[in-house]
Amino acid sequence: MTTKAANSNNREKGFALAAPAIRVAPSLLSANFARLEADVARVESAGAKVLHLDVMDGHFVPNISFGAPVISSLRKHTRMIFDAHLMISDPKKYAASFAKSGCDHITFHIEVAPDSEEVLGEIRNCGASVGVALNPTTPVIAIEHILSKVDMVLVMSVWPGFSGLAFMHEVLPKVRELRSRLRPDQRLEIDGGMDTKTIALASAAGADTFVAGSAVFGAANCEAAWAELQRLAIESRATPGTGERS
């Protein structure tokens, strides 16, 4: 199966083509790895449209999580948008295999991409939409040259590599700055430490896509936890009229 074919089973594709919306994206990293299919089905049935996939290589970040084989196995069991967050040192080398495994959207870290234009082009050529991620202390100027070309910017609100860390409030000015600079068709994702309090702050600052790992899969009732985060994000949104309730 070609990459394009893998991505063309009538799913909503990537972020570029999606209508502006508030979306809470559960992170697979906090799911039970012994029952991934069931955990994904639970958040999909709750209404989640985006599944965040944290890929870690043990090099850019200290941990190793999962790779393309796990993603392609899950691809057969859900219609959710697959939002891959590559926390790996060589995103250009692996972009094609993640697109082929069924990722609709692929985000790379600017800190490991001196060749960012090439990485961006490689991801786009594979048929996925493109995101660029910033570590908590990486400034917007680091992505100035590609800001108008990406479909999404991801602001890390914890240091990458772990779930369950505390939200870093100091990234909120960066979220506000990016919201004022991005076009309406470009998504702004925030990742790390989202809970019922911090999601409201991030939404008010202008984020529209919220990664939530432990706050969703760590809850006894992950469907209710997802729905409550989604409700709070919509209620607190910076730009009214962009909520997606289903």
Indicate the residue among 1 and 58 with the shorter CB distance to Zn ion. Answer: 58
CA–CA dist 184, 161 (Å, integer): 30
Write down the least CB distance from residue 56 to Zn ion, Å.
9
165 binds, among Zn ion, ligand DX5, none (CB under 5 to 8 A by kind): ligand DX5
User: Is 90 an annotated catalytic residue?
Assistant: no
Indicate the residue among 85 and 100 with the shorter CB distance to Zn ion. Answer: 85
- Nearest CA-CA partner of 153 in 111, 107, 87: 107
Q: Per DSSP, what are the bridge partners of residue 56?
A: 87
Q: What are phi and psi of 27, to 5 degrees?
A: -100, 125
What are 200's two structure tokens? 């409201």
Indicate the residue among 3 and 163 with the shorter CB distance to ligand DX5. Answer: 163
Q: Per DSSP, what are the bridge partners of residue 87?
A: 56
Indicate the residue among 121 and 223 with the shorter CB distance to ligand DX5. Answer: 223
User: Is 151 an annotated catalytic residue?
Assistant: no
Indicate the residue among 54 and 104 with the shorter CB distance to Zn ion. Answer: 54
Residue numbers at the binding site for ligand DX5 (CB under 6 A): 27, 29-30, 52, 54, 85, 158, 160-165, 191-194, 211-215
Q: What are phi and psi of 209, to 5 degrees?
A: -130, 125
Write down the least CB distance from residue 9 to ligand DX5, Å.
25
Of the residues 54, 83, 104, 151, only one is catalytic, namely 54
Determine the residue with CB nearest ligand DX5. Answer: 213
- Nearest CA-CA partner of 106 in 82, 132, 134, 130: 130
**What does 100-140 look like in DSSP terms, one character per residue?**
HTT-SEEEEEGGG-TTHHHHHHHHHHTT-EEEEEE-TT--G
Do residues 30 and 163 lie in contact, with contact meaning Cβ atoms separated by under 8 Å?
A: yes
Q: What are phi and psi of 105, to 5 degrees?
A: -135, 135
- Nearest CA-CA partner of 127 in 101, 153, 146: 101
Distance from CA of residue 245 to its chain's centroid?
Answer: 19
Residue numbers at the binding site for Zn ion (CB under 5 A): 54, 85, 191
Write down the least CB distance from residue 134 to Zn ion, Å.
12
- Nearest CA-CA partner of 209 in 5, 52, 37: 52
User: SS3 for 238?
Assistant: coil
Of the residues 57, 83, 151, 191, only one is catalytic, namely 191
Write down the least CB distance from residue 5 to Zn ion, Å.
27
- The catalytic site residues sit at 54, 191
